[in-house]
Structure 1
Amino acid sequence: MHAIARCCFMLAAFSIGSVLPVLGSDTVPGKVSNLKTTGVTSSAFGLSWTAPTSSIPFTSYVIFIIKEGKCAQASFLRCSQNSTTHANANCPYQIFAGVYDTCHGVMSYNITAKLTSYTDYVVAVAAAYETTAGENSTITVKTQIGIPAPPTNIRLTAQNQSAILVEWDIPLHNAGPTWYNVTVLGATNRMSSIFIAQREYKVEGWKSSSYEVTDLLSSWRYMVSITASTNVGTSDRTTSQYVSTLPSAPGVVKNIHMKFVPNQYLAARLSWECPTEKIRNGRITSFTIIYTGNVSMTMTAGSYYPEDPCTAPHTAYLPVIPDGQYTVKVWANAEFQGNKSTMIFVADRNKMSYTPSISNTTVSTADSNSLIVASATCGSTIAILSVVVIALVLTRPRGVLPEKQLYGSLG
C-alpha cells in the first residue's frame, strides 16, 4: 500500500483527516503491541506498549489523543537525534516528547496536558520511520471523576407568596455523576440585608438546572447559594441576588385591649400591636378600626410610608356612651387587607374598665404611652362626641346621679 494511503487509512478511523504528510518512503515500521493505560486520574494517564519486533527499522513513535472524534493532542518521541519529526501533522496541539536513547522493548509515556475529567479518549500509537508511520495500535480510556466547576448565573423568581423558582447555568464540563447543593438563605429580619442559611436541598444530575423552593415566609427576602458536587469534591460556591416572595394578607394584630380614659366617660382608649413580624406579609401602611354599638364608626389609624416600623404599640381614642356594649375589630392594611382581631367592650361607668371577649388575639392590660392618633380629624371627633353628649342630655331623666351630671356639663 502506498505510504500516503496507508497513513490516511490509519487516521480516518478517528475522523481527523490525513494527519501525517508522507514523502514517499516504502519502509513501513511494524505495529506496536500490548498497548495499555496506567495510572489513570481525572486529568492524566500513562501509556505503555511493546516496540515492534519486525526487522524493519523505525526512528520515532507518534501518539495521537482523540476526543469526540477530533485530534486533541499529538506527541512525537524521537529515537535518535537524527530522525525527522512529523512537525507538519494536522493537530491543533503538538508535543515533542524528547529523544529516547532506545525505542525497543517496553516503552512508556505519560499524557498530562489538556485532559478533562470523566472523558472518553481514544489513543493511537504507531512506530514511524522518518515520515512514514506504521500501523497504529489503539485503546480507549476514560479519565476519572473530577471536581466540577461551579454553576453560574443563578436566577430567582418569586412564584407566589411562599415559593421561589431557582434556576442556574450548569458547568460546561461534566466532571462525573453530579449533584447540586441548593442552600436557601433568609433575611434575619423582613427588610434586613443580612442573610443566614436556613435549609439545603440536594438536586441530582449534572444537567439539572432548576428547583422550586416552597414553604417560605410571605413578603420576605431570600437568597440562594449553589455548589456542584461529585464523590471526589465540591466546587466553589455561587450566590444569587436576593428576591422577595409575594405579599399576602397580614396576620392578626396582637395585644388588643380597650379601657376608659381616666376621668372621662365619653372616650375609651384602644391599643394594639403590629402582627408578629413573620406574619406581616407585606408593607403595613395603616390600620382599620370598626366598632359598633350605641356609637358606630369606621376609622383609619396611621399613615405610614413606606411602611409601619412596628416599633411601638399603637393607640386610638374612640367615643363611647357609658353602659353600652361595643364590638371592636382591628386589622392591618398592607398590599392586602389583613385578618381581623375582634373584642367585646362593655362601657361600665362604675368599674371604669372593660370586659373583653376577644378572638384571634391576646389580651394585655398594660397601658401604652405611644400614641398613634386616628386619621379621623379632631373636628370630626369633637362632632361625634357632641352628638353623644346631646343624645345623653335628651335621653337622660332630670334626676341623674352625681356621676351622670358630668355628661351634661360637657355639653
Structure 2
Amino acid sequence: MASIPTLFTTTSTLHRSNYPPPYTCVDSNSNSNPNQLQLLAKKSLESRASSLLQSCSSFSRLTQIQAHIIRNSLQQNHFLASRLVSSCFTLGCYSYASRIFGQLLSPDAFLFNAMIKGFASAGFHREVLHFYCMMLNYSYSFPSNFTFPLALKACSKLASIVEGRALHGHVLKLDHSSDIFIQTALVDLYGSCCEAQDARKVFDRMTKRDVVAWNAMVSAYVRSDSILLAEEMFEKMPVRNVNSWTTMIGGLLDLGDSRRALTTFHRMQLHGVKADNMAIVTILSAIADLGCLSSGKWVHKYIERNVIQIDVFVGTALIDMYSKSGSIKDAKLVFHAMRSKNTSCYNAMIFGLAVHGLGEEAIRVFEELRGSRMEIDDVTMIAVLTACSHSGLVEKA
C-alpha cells in the first residue's frame, strides 16, 4: 500500500506549488486564550461570511468575501475554507479553488472531500485521484465512505484498473467494504474496465443490493460483451427502473441485434416504465439501424404524449432516424423546430440531406453552421463532402 500514492501523483497537472498564493497566510490560532467576547465576535463573522458565500454569484463577489475573511484572520477556518472552495467550483473557478486549498496549513478530511467532490462534479477525474493521493499523505486525514465512491468513479471514467485495484485495497484496509455505495462503485469500476468476473465477485459479496447495484452488474456484463449473462442477470432483477431497461436495450444494440432491442423497448412499455431521454435516444438508434419508419413515428408520438423534451440529443437521434428511414421531410421538420442545436445536430441533418441527393440544401445547412460560429469538426467535413459527391457538385467539393 505504501507505493499507492506514487501511482496517483503522476496523473495530475494541478499542484499547489504551481499557483501563486491568493493571499498571505495568517494563523488564526495565534491568540491562544481569546475571551468570550472575542469568540462570540468571531462566530458572528464566520456566520456572516458563510451566509455571503451561500448567495455568491460572481468571481468578483467571491474575492470580496475572501478579502473580508482574510481581514478578520479567518482564512484558516476549515468551515469557511470549504465554503470558499465549493463556491469556486460552483462558479467554474477550479484553479482558484486549488490556490485557496494550497494556503491551508492543515486541511482536514472534510476539505479534501470538498476538493474531490468539486473536481468529480466538473469531470476532472485525474485531479480527483491527485487530491485523493494528497489526502493519503496527511496522517490526520483519512478517506471515508464519502471519499471512496468519488475516487472509484474517477478510476471508472479513466478505465484505470491499476489505481482502481489499489483503491479497492484501501477500502478493505480501512474496513469500508460493507458500504453499499462503495461496493456499487467497485462493481461499476470493474465493469468499466471489462473485468466482469471481478465485478461479479464484489456483487456476490454484497449483503444488500439496490437497483443501482443490479444495474451496475448488468452493465458490467454488457461492457464485457457477455450479453447472455447480462440478460440472465436482468431477468433475475427484483426491481427494474428505466436505466435497467436502457442498459439492456443498449447492449443488444451494440451487439447488432436492433430488432431484439426494439422488442425489449416494447416490453418496457408493457411493464409500465416511462422512457427518459437516454432510453429514447437508444431506441431511436435501433430504429434507425432497422430503417423502420412506422416504429420511428410511433416513438416520436410517444415523445409528444409524454412531454419528453426534444433536446439536442433526442433531436439529433430523430433527424438521424427519419433520414435513414426514408423520410427526409420529417427530418427537416424536426431540425427546423429545434430551439437549440449543436454541431452533432447539424451533422445529422447534412448527412441526411446528402444521402437523399439534396446537395444544395446540405451546403446551405453547412453555411448556416458556419454562420453560427459553432465548432466544425471532421464529421461535418465528411458530411458536406458526401453531399457534394452524391449531387455531383465537384466545384463545391
- The structure where helix makes up a greater share of residues is 2
TM over 0.5: no
TM-score range (shorter-chain normalised) is: under 0.3
- The structure where strand makes up a greater share of residues is 1
Name the TM-score, length of structure 1 as normaliser: 0.20
Name the TM-score, length of structure 2 as normaliser: 0.21
Considering only CA atoms, is the larger Rg found in Structure 1 or Structure 2? 1
